[in-house]
Structure 1
Amino acid sequence: MKRRSWLRHSGGMLTAALMPCAASAQQAVRRQLRFSIVLSNPHPSELRDQQLWLYLPASESPIQQIDSVSVSAKHNMLSDALGHNILQLSFTRIAPLATKVVSIAVDVLLHDASEPAPLKDFRDWLTTERYIETSDAHIQALAAQLRQPTAQSSGRAIYEWLRQNMHYAGYIADDLGALYAVTQRSGDCTEYAYLAVALARANGIPARMVGGYVTDRNIAPRAEDYHNWAELHIDGAWRLLDAQKEHWLTPAQQYIAFRFYRDKITNPVGLAHRFHSNGELQIRL
């Protein structure tokens, strides 16, 4: 792992260019996402030294880069070796029963998903992980049934099996994983993604689960809009596989990645999907 890099910012409504663009802006789609974070002190006493870390859109050249970030509170920006961008909010004191609202606007540049994205080490995306039980006999057996002569045709076979055999159960609060999905044939978008990744890895295709938002316009996402999908590394680039929404390969430019799932801690958000706090604040995003 590379040492985590720290990009520090301070002041209100600060706009900062984070990453240079690998392609020209004329070739990119620009999207703005706006969030309001409500932080409440539920106690009749003052809270001190409260911190919150949350994911912003990831930076992954040449596919996706943050162009600017505007935050209505003092903050720091962090990044890690996977390309995650993390917003850190720190509060020295929060008054009893007080509520704070922090506004965030992020401009993202999205490029053609067919752009080459070489892997530094493809083995990182072929392993068994928590919730991605690639080596389990049930998953190995199904992967063998779906194996085709090429990685792309195998990916398409995985997509079609999921689309035709999985039952969408609606939102489920807990992660259940690929093994649950293959045995129960049910789950929410997270289980669809876990199983797609497990089946791809079992067939020797580097794959990852991604979390974020799907949109064809500027939006203020709601919590329930957060979505998980799979990406398979085929022919030198990450390819979209989202059987829950019935999207294979396209429309990749509508998918804005915030988190690349790994069963290890690479930043202060830890193993959480969206954010992590170290205090007693109640947080609504």
Structure 2
Amino acid sequence: MLLNGRDWVEFPVVPDKDNSRRLGSESIAKFCSKELMISLVNHRTRIEHFSGYVFFIAFLVAVLAVSGWVYIHWHKREAVYEIEKTIRYSFLVKNKTAEYLESASLKVFAPVRQNSYQLMEEITANKPFEIQLDQSGNQSLIFKLKGVPPYGSEVISITAEMKLSRAPQPFSLNEKSLLIAEPNIEVDALEIRDLAEKLDGNVRKIAAWIFNNVKDVGYIAEDRGARYALTRLRGDCTEFASAFVALARASGVPSRMVGGFILENSSKLQAESYHNWAEYKFGDAWKILDAQSNIVDSGYGQYISFYNFDGFSRLENSQRFLSYDQRLFVQML
């Protein structure tokens, strides 16, 4: 008999009473059991080999995934912020009294440590200082001056090593807090809601409307807010930025106001270059929008952020980027 497509196998036969011949059932059962065991062993071997291949492939995929994550994680700083920039700024500090000051304090802002378009790597000064960091990412340098003579003066010089990006990079912020009303960002005002609806929540339309309708009247010492800018149609860079943020938030676009400096050819910061603009979320990044100049998603490498305005951190006056002992006179050089 030919079984399993292999050799012929002879089985013993048992004669019947009528002398007919039939195969022995015991012999067949033993043979089939043996063949079944061999088949099961071979099948198990194939399964073990296949499982080994699957495990190896899964292990290889996991190794590649982890390697990719490690590469991206450790190389992100160098790959994303590709423009190296050194910025410098300084202050003249004078004792304006006839008294000898045993101690006096000065607090100034430093560049924001990181956002979608800048990364501060190091900051140094010619005088000792402490760094104070708040939950909004704002950095302050606190100088404690000792032994300032009557009418005496000194210069504090600060240097920051920056890396800037040519395009906005992924950066995570608390979006919910950047959709609600706050001082000078009157999101719930009826005038702002109506205008936001007319502009379809389009950030370019919002920026163009503000640029074309709000008059730039130059520096205003007191912040007036978004509602003032959009009803009186006047203001300075602070009102332009506040107006955009309010309209964007009313349209469901997370946004915030930012204060800092605009660099062009020089790396030295000047007081007259201080400026307020806005950032809005698009995808996983935060883009620059300067409504006063109708700049949308541009200016990377020139805008240096020093202060993030939001519900957690807000200056009483957005034009003030330093605070100091009232016995001192401080001027940015």
Q: State TM-score, norm by structure 2.
A: 0.72
Q: Distance in 1 between matches of 2:266 and 2:107?
A: 23
Q: Distance in 2 between matches of 1:70 and 1:37?
A: 14
Max Rg structure:
2
3-state SS of paired residue (1:45): coil
CA contact (8 A) 1:263 1:271 kept: no
CA spacing shift, 1:239–1:26, aligned 2, 3 Å: closer
Alignment partner of 1:128 is 2:176: no
For 1:84-116, what per-residue CA distance to the aligned partner results, in whole angstroms no more than 9, with x for missing partners? 121110013211111111111212111243322
CA contact (8 A) 1:113 1:238 kept: no
Partner of 2:17: none
The correspondence of residues 139-150 of structure 1 with structure 2, limited to 5 A, is 139-148=192-201
Q: How many residues align?
A: 258
Partner of 1:87: 141
CA contact (8 A) 2:136 2:310 kept: no
- Out of 204, 209, 213, which is 1:156 matched to? 204
Partner of 2:45: none
How far is 1:208 from its partner?
0.3
CA contact (8 A) 1:51 1:279 kept: no
CA contact (8 A) 2:81 2:163 kept: no
Partner of 1:72: 126
Amino acid at match of 1:99: S
CA contact (8 A) 1:31 1:218 kept: no
> What do you get for the CA RMSD once the two structures are aligned?
2.1
Q: Distance in 1 between matches of 2:259 and 2:216?
A: 17
- Out of 231, 240, 264, which is 1:183 matched to? 231
Partner of 1:281: 328
Amino acid at match of 1:94: V
CA contact (8 A) 2:87 2:160 kept: yes
Which structure shows the higher strand fraction?
1
Amino acid at match of 2:199: L
For 1:145-186, what per-residue CA distance to the aligned partner results, in whole angstroms no more than 9, with x for missing partners? 1124xxxxx111101101111111111121111111001111
**Moved beyond 3 Å, runs of 4+:** 263-266, 269-273
Q: Distance in 2 between matches of 1:35 and 1:124?
A: 32
Q: Distance in 1 between matches of 2:120 and 2:80?
A: 15
Partner of 1:97: 151
Q: Distance in 2 between matches of 1:124 and 1:26?
A: 26
3-state SS of paired residue (2:114): coil
- Give the gaps of 5 or more residues in structure 2: 1-73
How far is 1:138 from its partner?
1.2
How far is 1:21 from its partner?
8.0
CA spacing shift, 1:138–1:198, aligned 2, 3 Å: same
Q: Distance in 2 between matches of 1:208 and 1:257?
A: 12
How far is 1:252 from its partner?
2.4
Alignment partner of 1:111 is 2:162: no
CA spacing shift, 1:158–1:254, aligned 2, 3 Å: same
The correspondence of residues 1-285 of structure 1 with structure 2, limited to 5 A, is 22-24=76-78, 28-61=82-115, 63-119=117-173, 121-148=174-201, 154-265=202-313, 273-285=320-332
CA spacing shift, 1:21–1:210, aligned 2, 3 Å: farther
Tell which has more relative contact order, 1 or 2 (C-alpha 8 A, sep 6+): 1
CA contact (8 A) 1:113 1:237 kept: no
CA contact (8 A) 1:25 1:109 kept: no
How far is 1:37 from its partner?
0.6
Q: Distance in 2 between matches of 1:25 and 1:48?
A: 48
3-state SS of paired residue (1:133): coil
Q: Distance in 2 between matches of 1:75 and 1:165?
A: 45
How far is 1:42 from its partner?
0.9
CA spacing shift, 1:137–1:62, aligned 2, 3 Å: closer
- Give the gaps of 5 or more residues in structure 1: 1-19, 149-153
How far is 1:246 from its partner?
2.3
Q: Distance in 2 between matches of 1:118 and 1:96?
A: 48
3-state SS of paired residue (1:23): helix
For 1:41-95, what per-residue CA distance to the aligned partner results, in whole angstroms no more than 9, with x for missing partners? 1111112331111111101255311122221111112222222121110013211
How far is 1:263 from its partner?
4.8
